[in-house]
Amino acid sequence: MKKFQAQPGFVVQAFRFALDPNAAQEHALRSHCGAARAAYNWAVGWVEASWWQRRAEESYGIPEADLTPWRPWSLPALRKAFNEAKHTDPRFCGWWEDNSKEAYSTGLANASAAFDNYAKSKRGKRKGRAVGMPRFKAKRKARLACRFTTGTIRVEAGGRHVTLPRLGAIRVHESTVKLLVRVQSGTARILSATVRHERGRWFVSFQTEVKRDLVRVARPDTAVGIDLGIKTLAVMADSAGEIREVPNPRHLATALTELRRASRVVSRRRGSDRRTGQKPSRRWEKANAARNRVHHRVANLREDALHQLTTSVAAEYGTVVIEDLNVAGMVKNRRLARHITDAGFGEIRRRLDYKVKRNGCRIVAADRWYPSSKTCSGCGVVKAKLPLHIRTFHCDVCGLVIDRDANAALNLAALSAAAVAGTAVGGDQGAQAPKPRGADRKTRTTRPRLTAGTGRAGGATLPHQRQQETRDRTQAEALTLW
């Protein structure tokens, strides 16, 4: 599918609303999402059939030129093949006309993207973990989602209904005025709509092209460093020296007692058993719905808190400096995994990325190996070790005593000066490639140089000019401009 390019002065933005469909509309929504899953499974099976056929023919010694030709997985090819097969395939006969063509196009597009990701990963052209061959989606596990790109897609004038192809007008749970006003004034254009079932209810997301003017932040010349943690969700220190702490709401930890009680009730009901074909009882379904409501409430509270935090930061500072945390590696610690996922470190960084850029500001990501906690924010001396249980930073050179997280936030805020100067930007020419496993990223201890013949550290501290050069060099090695 061709990626949309916004016009100059316009940005692509999503508007998401909760739906309140009636029984017939909910059945139609589930039918469309099921049709997308069926089309995806058909495309995966149709493409892989030629792969297995070629492998079987090779085992019989058939030459390469006489093997069954490869079946393409591009979206146009899949659409053409599906349109020919839907009339005769017993999996679609009798019901495929009940849904919009966009439902089947959604499944085919997802299958095409899955094969593209597999091919790029196989050739080493895709970043991240290796991607395997696409697999069939199970009915009991697949997420319900369907995308509409053509047809009647609009927000009704009353602000309480949306219209989708083949589904008609569906009532929304909340007002759509924020999108309706933009569409009526000509500053927004709806490109597509995606319906999705999550957290126990249906949502619709409109992908729109919106004319958005840059909003001047409250302090455009001020940079802020954000240090994320578990005890305190975020410690923010700006370039003016002001330090502010954001407490960790711990939504999941607060709801654990209620969640354990709900889980015990579910375990004492008769659930489903796939081995014997046993159906869950009504009491189990009722108890499971009550447990799911606890999970949904925790997720909603966390999402709201993270939106408030990131929106306030993006509306105040001109430069935001954050850490490049290895969240996937951090959650492998079984003692901290639940607390880290409850805080949402990765989601904070993702939302700051697009919200800061939306206001025309800059976001800087400190290198993953930058010793923000071990570096003294006063003189720049770097400690060799600083265990996690030590929450107060004591500098052995200048005598600074400061909270560990506040010290890290001050060091992150200081990195913005190097970013303005243009030093150590990711991709600089002449930069040496790191050694395997980060062997060249070991923290080096910075010690004051002894003055010759005096036996003391040059007046107990480094000269001001050499000290500043040391700090700039350390920051230049660790900084990456996002």
* Of the candidates 366, 466, 360, 372, the residue with the CA atom closest to the CA atom of residue 419: 366
Q: Which residues contact 447 (CB under 8 A, 6 or more apart)?
A: 381
Identify the pLDDT of residue 357.
85
Cα(132)–Cα(218) distance, integer angstroms:
47
Give the start-to-end residue ranges of the domains of the chain: 10-23+145-211, 32-122, 222-244+308-429+440-482
Taking the CA atoms of 218, 323, 443 and 478 in sequence, report the sign of the dihedral they define: negative
Q: Encoding tokens for residue 80?
A: 């053409």
Instruction: Determine which one of 209, 245, 342, 405 is catalytic.
Output: 405
pTM: 0.77
- Residues across the chain: 482
Q: Encoding tokens for residue 140?
A: 């009991």
Instruction: Determine which one of 227, 245, 342, 367 is catalytic.
Output: 227
The 10s digit of each residue's pLDDT in 93-138 is 888 889 999 999 999 999 999 999 999 999 999 988 899 999 999 9
Is residue 405 among the annotated active site residues?
Answer: yes
195 within 8 A of 212, measured Cβ to Cβ: no
Is residue 285 among the annotated active site residues?
Answer: no
Cα(104)–Cα(80) distance, integer angstroms:
12
SS (H, E, C) 317-348: EEEEEEECCCHHHHCCCCCCHHHHHHHCHHHH
* Of the candidates 57, 95, 54, 50, the residue with the CA atom closest to the CA atom of residue 71: 50
The single-letter code of the amino acid at 279 is K
Is residue 323 among the annotated active site residues?
Answer: yes
Identify the pLDDT of residue 452.
38
Instruction: Determine which one of 209, 245, 323, 367 is catalytic.
Output: 323
Residues of the chain with pLDDT under 70: 1-9, 417-482
Identify the pLDDT of residue 215.
81
Cα(274)–Cα(397) distance, integer angstroms:
66
The 10s digit of each residue's pLDDT in 173-220 is 999 999 999 999 999 999 999 999 998 899 999 999 998 887 888 888
17 within 8 A of 203, measured Cβ to Cβ: yes
Cα(316)–Cα(359) distance, integer angstroms:
10
Q: Is 465 buried (19+), middle (13-18) or exposed (0-12) by CB count in 10 A? A: exposed
Phi (first) and psi of residue 208, to 5 degrees: -125, 155
Identify the pLDDT of residue 166.
93
Identify the pLDDT of residue 441.
55
- Give the CB-side neighbour count of residue 426, counting CA atoms within 13 A: 8
Torsion of CA 47, 53, 55, 58, to 10 degrees: -140
Q: Which residues contact 269 (CB under 8 A, 6 or more apart)?
A: 280, 281, 283, 284, 287, 288
Cα(441)–Cα(447) distance, integer angstroms:
18
Identify the pLDDT of residue 1.
44
Identify the pLDDT of residue 442.
55
Taking the CA atoms of 81, 85, 87 and 93 in sequence, report the sign of the dihedral they define: negative
